């Protein structure tokens, strides 16, 4: 609190990003949030911005109406305040500057956040997603593969956990392997074809170095799979990058030294290119009165969708190698925690329907991203930022999943709101899951004792993230997803990158509407049951209602069904807000107060 110089500033103007609209309100600064409360009592919009979400701030030059302060958030919110007095603006600015640069992990919101749960609830929350149970689901360990705790002390390797397996007869098996040499850390997916997906970092080959143990290791993996005589080695980097790494004593596998490998470059760019790409994208879509030409040219120049497609292509290659050829695949990039995580996680999602459920998706993230040491703290700029380490690697993964949900609307148990909410909390530092860079660091921080788990929070709100048209039987007909990779099927994810720009969204949401219907169906089924029970008391036998979906909740409800018509408000819809054109001069435009109802799950702030 000692950093807050001005806790409250009145008469602050909030400018809309894309139109000429503005509202007046009061700005509050707390230890965790920056809060804007609109003065207009009828609409009284509130904006809560978590300090951790602020990516950058800019004080623009003084204008007649005050001092403008531009705040860009990591969840793609951009707010433009005009503070009447320069001094207040400076105070807010410098207070925030200190608040959004926490020096130690202890300062992160997760350590002060308390959802009013006791210790037992907290513990239960952390146990919801259990990797040990996940191995059990996959039938590991078994006669062919065993777990190893060689990395128990996190000493031998970059901080990762490690478990080794070699073969399983069970379908859809995911596991970890660890070799001592070359910093390899393997992770296996063994399908019913007994093919395995392994992950590691680049070999320290340089121009000529060899490591016999490493070569034997690969051979062992290859031999464990009787279906295929060869093993694919996917280097997810562009060839040029891999070659450049050679000079630093790293590099890629030499096909002459490894027997029966098929080496393949995939060409996903590195974290710096991705960071630049997102920056360009946001710059383009943040332009006011953007023309269609500038938008499409900007989209192309940013390269963003090209990168998304490259990741998807790599994951499809992986899935095909395993499911069609029955071959094992070893995936690596440079460090093995960025591109490798993207490709392995997405590949698993394509191959195993379990990961397309809400819980399965949490397991996938926990396993492929968190436990394998994706450097969330660095990539998401949690602490003491080195801007060169920041990169939207995880965001890209979420977007790839979204692209899949667009092509396969029935394959996923969750909707895009789930993905957006996860994205929100990866950056919020409100829950412990994503803090730190590695498993070791998380243990040191005692996250499980001192913070809460996001997964418990999300599961408690599961209803909001459901995909109403999800069909569990889809998994049976499509165990492996085969998305189209034609460029025209990749779309700009407006609901992510413009999640706070309500004026760009459809004014009525099909998703929300169908969810309401689904919820209403559940309640009505209960009502029917209750009415039948009552009728039976009168000795009337009723014909059983054939539920087309199995009733999940048999709890009798007496009350009338909630309004099934749902909300059909046309939200935030006004002509002036859309800025169609230039009606000026003697014909002044009238502004109409637009009621902006923040749609649940999209623009909601948990606090």
Can you tell me the distance from the alpha carbon of 423 to that of 393, in angstroms, rounded to the nearest whole number? 11
Query: Is the separation of the CB atoms in 89 and 83 below 8 Å?
Result: yes
Query: Is the separation of the CB atoms in 147 and 153 below 8 Å?
Result: no
**Between 175 and 312, whose beta carbon lies closer to other proteins?**
312
Selection from 266, 148, 268, 263 nearest residue 203 by Cα: 263
List binding-site positions: 270-271, 333-339
Q: Shortest distance, CB of residue 17 to other proteins, whole angstroms?
A: 11
**Between 446 and 536, whose beta carbon lies closer to other proteins?**
536
Q: Shortest distance, CB of residue 313 to other proteins, whole angstroms?
A: 8
DSSP label of 63:
B
Selection from 229, 146, 147 nearest residue 195 by Cα: 229
Spell out the SS3 assignment of 277-339.
Answer: HHHHHHHHHCCCCCCHHHHHHHHHHHCHHHHHHHHHHHHHHHHHHHHCCCCEEEEECCCCCCH
Q: Shortest distance, CB of residue 254 to other proteins, whole angstroms?
A: 30
Any bridge partners for residue 188, and if so which?
175
Q: Shortest distance, CB of residue 570 to other proteins, whole angstroms?
A: 5
Q: Shortest distance, CB of residue 479 to other proteins, whole angstroms?
A: 14
**Between 181 and 407, whose beta carbon lies closer to other proteins?**
407
Selection from 263, 211, 203, 204 nearest residue 235 by Cα: 263
Q: At what angle do helices 304-323 and 393-407 cross, to 10 degrees?
A: 70
Instruction: Kindly calculate the radius of gyration of the chain based on its CA atoms and give it in whole angstroms.
Output: 26
Catalytic annotation, pick one of 333, 344, 400, 429: 333
**Between 62 and 562, whose beta carbon lies closer to other proteins?**
562
Q: How far is CA 237 from CA 233, 329, 333, in A?
A: 12, 15, 6
Q: Tokens at residue 476, please?
A: 């049976």
Query: Is the separation of the CB atoms in 135 and 148 below 8 Å?
Result: no
Compute the half-sphere exposure of residue 287: CA atoms within 13 Å on the CB side of its CA. 16
456's enclosing H/E stretch is helix 454-460
Q: Catalytic: 333?
A: yes
Query: Is the separation of the CB atoms in 431 and 452 below 8 Å?
Result: yes
Q: Shortest distance, CB of residue 53 to other proteins, whole angstroms?
A: 22
List binding-site positions for substrate: 270-271, 333-339
Can you tell me the distance from the alpha carbon of 380 to that of 434, in angstroms, rounded to the nearest whole number? 9
**Between 102 and 483, whose beta carbon lies closer to other proteins?**
483
**Between 86 and 553, whose beta carbon lies closer to other proteins?**
553
**Between 207 and 587, whose beta carbon lies closer to other proteins?**
587
Q: Shortest distance, CB of residue 522 to other proteins, whole angstroms?
A: 10
Can you tell me the distance from the alpha carbon of 376 to that of 381, in angstroms, rounded to the nearest whole number? 8
Active-site residue numbers?
333
């Amino acid at each position: 609190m000692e950093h807050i110089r001005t806790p409250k500033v009145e008469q602050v103007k909030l400018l809309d990003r894309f139109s000429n609209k503005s509202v007046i309100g009061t700005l509050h600064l707390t230890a965790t949030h920056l809060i804007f409360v609109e003065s207009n009592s009828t609409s009284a919009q509130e904006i809560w911005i978590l300090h951790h979400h602020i990516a950058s701030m800019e004080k623009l030059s003084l204008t007649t109406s005050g001092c403008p302060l531009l705040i860009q958030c990591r969840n793609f919110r951009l707010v433009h305040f005009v503070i009447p007095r320069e001094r207040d603006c400076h105070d807010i600015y410098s207070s925030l500057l200190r608040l959004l640069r926490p020096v130690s992990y202890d300062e992160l919101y997760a350590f002060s956040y308390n959802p009013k749960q006791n210790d037992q609830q907290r513990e239960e929350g952390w146990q919801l997603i259990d990797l040990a149970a996940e191995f059990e689901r996959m039938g590991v360990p078994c006669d062919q593969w065993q777990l190893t705790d060689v990395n128990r002390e996190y000493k031998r390797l970059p901080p990762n956990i490690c478990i080794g397996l070699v073969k399983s007869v069970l379908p859809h098996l995911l596991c970890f392997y660890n070799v001592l040499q070359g910093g390899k850390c393997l992770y296996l997916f063994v399908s019913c074809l007994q093919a395995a997906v392994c992950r590691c970092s680049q070999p320290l080959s340089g121009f000529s170095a060899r490591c016999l143990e490493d070569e034997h290791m690969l051979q062992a993996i290859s031999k464990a799979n009787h279906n295929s005589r060869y093993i694919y080695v996917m280097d997810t980097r562009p060839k040029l990058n891999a070659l450049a790494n050679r000079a630093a004593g790293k590099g890629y596998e030499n096909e002459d030294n490894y027997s029966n490998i098929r080496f393949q470059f995939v060409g996903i760019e590195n974290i710096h290119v991705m960071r630049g790409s997102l920056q360009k994208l946001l710059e383009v879509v943040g332009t006011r009165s953007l023309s269609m030409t500038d938008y499409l040219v900007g989209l192309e120049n940013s390269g963003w969708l090209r990168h998304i497609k490259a990741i998807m292509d790599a994951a499809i290659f992986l899935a095909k190698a395993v499911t069609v050829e029955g071959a094992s695949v070893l995936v690596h990039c440079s460090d093995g925690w960025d591109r490798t995580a993207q490709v392995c996680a997405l590949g698993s999602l394509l191959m195993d329907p379990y990961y397309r459920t809400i819980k399965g998706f949490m397991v996938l993230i926990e396993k492929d991203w968190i436990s394998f040491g994706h450097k969330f703290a660095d990539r998401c700029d949690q602490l003491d930022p080195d801007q060169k380490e920041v990169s939207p690697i995880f965001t890209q993964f979420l977007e790839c999943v979204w692209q899949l949900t667009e092509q396969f609307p029935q394959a996923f148990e969750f909707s895009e709101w789930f993905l957006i909410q996860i994205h929100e909390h990866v950056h919020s530092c409100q829950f412990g899951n994503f803090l730190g860079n590695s498993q070791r660091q998380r243990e040191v921080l005692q996250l499980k004792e001192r913070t809460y788990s996001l997964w418990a929070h999300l599961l408690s709100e599961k209803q909001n993230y459901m995909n109403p048209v999800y069909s569990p039987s889809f998994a049976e007909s499509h165990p492996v997803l085969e998305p189209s990779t034609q460029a025209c099927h990749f779309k700009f994810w407006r609901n992510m990158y413009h999640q706070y720009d309500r004026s760009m969204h459809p004014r009525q949401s099909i998703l929300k509407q169908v969810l309401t219907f689904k919820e209403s169906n559940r309640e009505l089924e209960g009502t029917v049951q209750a009415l039948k029970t009552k009728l039976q008391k009168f000795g009337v036998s009723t014909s059983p209602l054939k539920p087309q979906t199995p009733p999940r909740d048999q709890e009798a409800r007496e009350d009338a069904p909630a309004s099934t018509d749902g909300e059909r408000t046309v939200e935030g819809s006004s002509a002036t807000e859309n800025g169609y054109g230039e009606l000026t001069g003697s014909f002044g435009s009238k502004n109409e107060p637009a009621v902006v109802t923040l749609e649940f799950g999209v623009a909601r702030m948990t606090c």
